[in-house]
Amino acid sequence: MSRVLASLSLLAALSACPVDPVVTDIDEARALTATAKSKFPRVVDLHQKIVARSCAPNTGVCHNTNNYPELATPASFLASINAWCNLASPDPAQGFDLCERAGDVLVSGSFQSEVAHTERQPDGGWQLTLRDPAPRTDDVAPVRFKSALNELVFQPLPEWGVTIAMVEGSTQISLSIAIEEPFFAEPYIDEALTALVQGDQNGNGVFGAADVDDGVSEARVGATVIAPQSLLRSYLWGRITGTVPGSRMPLANQALSDDEYLALACFIEGLPANGSLPATDAAIDYDACAFAKEPILFAIKD
């Protein structure tokens, strides 16, 4: 990757992988734009020539059915627009803050708090970390969970014996299950707790979607695999530029060339803000692409 496009993402400023500051050269950027325009005029060209060369056609490898996100076909590539990132992360503790979503909410009587982190214990119980300290001490408090949008996600039945123990002032909660007749309920309870959305999944004290200020957005919104019009919040961009934690993509293959980076940036920049998906034969708009005109706009600021 040349110095012109050596990084271009403020995500680096939020990441553990610093990238050298960029020196930009507008003439070089113009030449690269012309190359990208002729090699990748449409979305389908970008997919087939850049993404598919490393992800397809071998079933069972990489992003052709083996790793999230599935990128093997133009349609599956487009389906990663606005899809959550880090969904199948091999090590959630290494996850990227901006991929963290607004967590589900634990409710116990009048106390409620966002779930930061969950951990299954060897005895089948669970250890939960909450955003807020418990207001009281209680050994057998009732519990239910709702989403950040206030929708009920899990309400254990009384006969399942699901209770929490909390200590006033502590954010640590123990959840135990005292079910008498396991049959279907025990695995169901386990699945429901496993599926809880954790606001601080990597356990570093930062609630990604809510706490991270990317320096640009007014609303605090998290990243998605491809976020329309935003390189900053497109996790895929972070992974191919090596500006977010995790191995740089395409893993074990040659990094993208500069014209390929430029095509991908202009594709992301030109996506409709309302989340509607472009047609696979839609043209990539290089003429209106700010990234292609002024790469310095995207340079890292230390």
**Footprint of ligand HEM on this chain (CB under 6 A)?**
50-51, 54-55, 62-63, 67-69, 85-87, 89-90, 225, 235-236, 239-240, 246-247, 249-253
Q: In 3D, which of 186, 192, 243 has the Cα closest to residue 19?
A: 243
Rounded to the nearest whole angstrom, what is the least distance from the CB of residue 62 to ligand HEM in the complex? Answer: 3
Q: Which is nearer to ligand HEM, 6 or 225 (CB)?
A: 225
Alpha helices (H) in the chain, listed in sequence order: 26-39, 43-46, 52-55, 74-79, 185-194, 208-211, 235-241, 258-269, 290-293
Residue 68 vs 160, nearer CB to ligand HEM: 68
Minimum CB–partner distance for residue 69 and ligand HEM (Å):
6
Q: How far is the CB of 74 from ligand HEM (least distance, A)?
A: 13
Contact 97, 13 (CB under 8 A): no
Distance, CA of 73 to CA of 2 (rounded, Å): 29
> Is 103 within 8 Å of 203 (Cβ atoms)?
no
Residue whose CB is less far from ligand HEM, 11 or 166: 11
User: 250 or 270, CB closer to ligand HEM?
Assistant: 250
Q: Quote the tokens at residue 33.
A: 């734009």
Could you give the 3-state DSSP secondary structure of residue 131? coil
Residue 85 or 289 having the CB closest to ligand HEM: 85
Residue 34: phi, psi to the nearest 5? -65, -40
Specify whether the CB–CB gap between 124 and 106 falls below 8 A. Answer: no
Shortest spacing between CB 237 and ligand HEM, in angstroms: 9
Nearest distance from C-beta of residue 169 to ligand HEM, angstroms: 35
